[in-house]
């Protein structure tokens, strides 16, 4: 071949690869399962809501109400709200400490708010000046520090990003009118602001998940969601994206209302599915009553409830994304740290029954016993939070003669007897830890 012909062929090839956008909406179930594997195996993540709203901390002009929604709750004008940026200087922020808190809780991934509905960017964004570097005295790239600390600790780094934006004039929504903007141009916001910021986030911090929100505004459509989904996965094919990238989410229950919607998993918010689901799902929940930091919110959930929720979710095959709202000083509240540490202690004994297991929902033993199974099907786990007389009776498991039954955290197998359908397991005098315990039954 002549040199010029060769060059031409090369050019054609190059331009084909440069412009060929793959349609990731046509991915096979098997390919999706491979991509989702680490996420389903990891089961438990830590959500972080952090931004300018940590400064007012749930109070504006002496009136309470609102956390990360405070700008809307109190109809704060943009120019007023922007002033919080000048006060955002979290000198006590330590990325390694936050990641350690997540890790010792047993969380395997972190999802942090790169931008919430207020529109403020907590990383060094070249797309806007309304960011941590240009608008605050802090001038440290929070996402850079956190993504590096996550990488060092073996924690998956993920980002929450709001489609709705109360700060960008072009993003102005019909549904949120209190900011005055003439002629907003949502397409311009989408093409020249939202997408460039997301491309920047992927290139700079390599998030494993993009967790969208604020998709319910009328300006956003399912088609835009599908386009965005493809745009992002063409940049990073292994990316996992929640269903709020499109419009299919059915209210707070969070699962899709129709088939073939954009996004990889359903997003129940402050609730847990009633049963299992054919779709991937993750329940996101708060530790107290708010996502963002609110100084007067003392409505803390008990560790018992948090562990019960984790077990319930694992037994239904879902993921649990549990939130912390750090202060404007850069600290995760002590009440959160204490509860997370207790969860971590519990998981260090019972982890085998939670991570990388399949949920089992067809065994019915009341509310106090939930079941999971190892992926190879060789072990069934019965996780219980109540027992009487140091024994536990079950009818759903049917161990074979000679099968061993263990209590996680105790090395010696337990003795068990069978009477008809009822299997009675003798528990040790002292059980390891509090909150809940796990029987491991060899199938």
Question: Contact with ligand H79 (CB under 6 A): which of 42, 68, 118, 312?
Answer: 68
Cβ burial of 72 (10 Å; 0-12, 13-18, 19+) is middle
In whole angstroms, how close is the CB of 335 to ligand H79 at the nearest point? 19
Token duo for residue 388: 């009487």
CB 44 within 8 A of CB 311: no
In whole angstroms, how close is the CB of 281 to ligand H79 at the nearest point? 14
Decide if residue 118 touches ligand H79 (CB under 6 A): no
Tally of CB atoms within 10 A around 25? 13
Q: 300, 291, 311, 308: which is closest to 351 by C-alpha?
A: 311
In whole angstroms, how close is the CB of 168 to ligand H79 at the nearest point? 18
Of residues 336-395, those binding ligand H79 (CB under 6 A):
none
Nearer to ligand H79, 254 or 423 (CB): 254
Decide if residue 155 touches ligand H79 (CB under 6 A): no
Token duo for residue 196: 């460039």
CB 214 within 8 A of CB 239: no
Decide if residue 291 touches ligand H79 (CB under 6 A): yes
Return d(Cα 15, Cα 213) in angstroms, integer.
Answer: 35
Q: What is the 3-state secondary structure (H, E, C) of 263-281?
A: CCEECCECCCCCCCCCCCE
Nearer to ligand H79, 122 or 392 (CB): 122
In whole angstroms, how close is the CB of 360 to ligand H79 at the nearest point? 28
Token duo for residue 120: 């403020």
Nearer to ligand H79, 228 or 425 (CB): 228
Nearer to ligand H79, 24 or 39 (CB): 39
Q: 337, 330, 36, 245: which is closest to 322 by C-alpha?
A: 337
- Cα dist. 259→104, 216, 249, 262 in Å? 38, 18, 11, 9
> Three-class SS of residue 39?
helix
In whole angstroms, how close is the CB of 67 to ligand H79 at the nearest point? 8
Contact track, ligand H79, 232-271, x by CB under 6 A: -------------------xx----------------x--
Question: Contact with ligand H79 (CB under 6 A): which of 38, 138, 176, 216?
Answer: 216
Nearer to ligand H79, 51 or 90 (CB): 51
- Cα dist. 417→216, 379, 400, 423, 442 in Å? 55, 18, 11, 6, 15
Q: Give me the residue whose beta carbon is nearest to ligand H79.
A: 216
Per rule CB under 6 A, count of chain residues that contact ligand H79: 9
In whole angstroms, how close is the CB of 236 to ligand H79 at the nearest point? 22
Nearer to ligand H79, 248 or 392 (CB): 248
Q: What is the DSSP string of 390-437?
A: TEEEESS--PPTT--EEETT--SPPPEEEETTEEEEEPPSS-SSSS-E
CA 236, 52, 298: angle at the middle one, nearest 5?
A: 105
In whole angstroms, how close is the CB of 87 to ligand H79 at the nearest point? 21
Decide if residue 218 touches ligand H79 (CB under 6 A): no
Cβ burial of 183 (10 Å; 0-12, 13-18, 19+) is exposed
Nearer to ligand H79, 48 or 397 (CB): 48
Return d(Cα 211, Cα 394) in angstroms, integer.
Answer: 40
In whole angstroms, how close is the CB of 432 to ligand H79 at the nearest point? 34
In whole angstroms, how close is the CB of 284 to ligand H79 at the nearest point? 5
In whole angstroms, how close is the CB of 116 to ligand H79 at the nearest point? 6
Question: Contact with ligand H79 (CB under 6 A): which of 284, 285, 425, 439?
Answer: 284
Decide if residue 213 touches ligand H79 (CB under 6 A): yes
Nearer to ligand H79, 52 or 284 (CB): 284
Q: List residues near ligand H79 by CB under 6 A.
A: 68-69, 213, 216, 251-252, 269, 284, 291
């Amino acid at each position: 071949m002549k040199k010029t012909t060769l060059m031409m062929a090369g050019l054609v090839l190059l331009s084909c690869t440069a412009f060929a956008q793959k349609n990731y909406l046509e991915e096979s179930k098997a390919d999706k399962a491979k991509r989702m594997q680490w996420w389903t195996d990891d089961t438990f993540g830590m959500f972080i809501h952090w931004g300018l709203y940590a400064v007012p901390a749930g109070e504006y002009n002496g009136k309470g109400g609102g956390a990360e929604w405070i700008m809307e709750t109190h109809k704060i004008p943009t120019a007023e709200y922007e002033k919080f940026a000048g006060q955002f200087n979290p000198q006590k922020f330590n990325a390694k400490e936050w990641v350690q808190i997540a890790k010792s809780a047993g969380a395997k991934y972190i999802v942090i708010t790169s931008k919430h509905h207020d529109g403020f960017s907590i990383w060094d964004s070249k797309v806007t000046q309304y960011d941590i570097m240009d608008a605050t005295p802090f001038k440290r790239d929070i996402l850079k520090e956190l993504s590096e600390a996550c990488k060092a600790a073996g924690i998956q780094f993920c980002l929450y990003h709001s489609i709705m934006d109360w700060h960008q004039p072009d993003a102005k929504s019909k549904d949120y009118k209190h900011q005055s903007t003439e002629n907003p141009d949502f397409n311009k916001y989408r093409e020249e602001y939202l997408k460039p910021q997301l491309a920047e986030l992927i290139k700079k911090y390599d998030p494993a998940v993009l967790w969208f929100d604020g998709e319910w505004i009328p300006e956003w459509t399912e088609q835009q969601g599908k386009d965005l989904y493809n745009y992002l996965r063409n940049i990073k094919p292994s990316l996992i994206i929640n269903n709020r990238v499109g419009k299919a989410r059915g209210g707070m229950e969070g699962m899709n209302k129709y088939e073939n919607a954009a996004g990889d998993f359903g997003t129940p918010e402050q609730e847990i599915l009633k049963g299992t689901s054919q779709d991937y799902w993750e329940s996101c929940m708060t530790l107290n009553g708010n996502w963002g930091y609110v100084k007067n919110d003392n409505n803390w959930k008990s560790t018992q409830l948090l562990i019960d929720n984790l077990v319930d979710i694992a037994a239904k095959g879902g993921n649990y994304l549990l939130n912390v709202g750090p202060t404007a000083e850069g600290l995760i509240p002590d009440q959160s740290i204490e509860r997370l540490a207790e969860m971590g202690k519990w998981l260090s004994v019972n982890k085998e029954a939670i991570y990388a297991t399949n949920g089992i929902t067809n065994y019915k033993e009341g509310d106090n016993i939930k079941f999971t199974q190892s992926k190879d099907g060789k072990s069934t786990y019965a996780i219980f939070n109540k027992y009487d007389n140091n024994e536990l009776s079950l009818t759903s498991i049917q161990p074979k003669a000679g099968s061993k039954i263990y209590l996680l955290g105790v090395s010696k197998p337990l003795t068990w007897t069978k009477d008809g359908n009822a299997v009675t397991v003798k528990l040790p005098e002292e059980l390891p830890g509090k909150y809940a315990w796990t029987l491991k039954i060899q199938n």
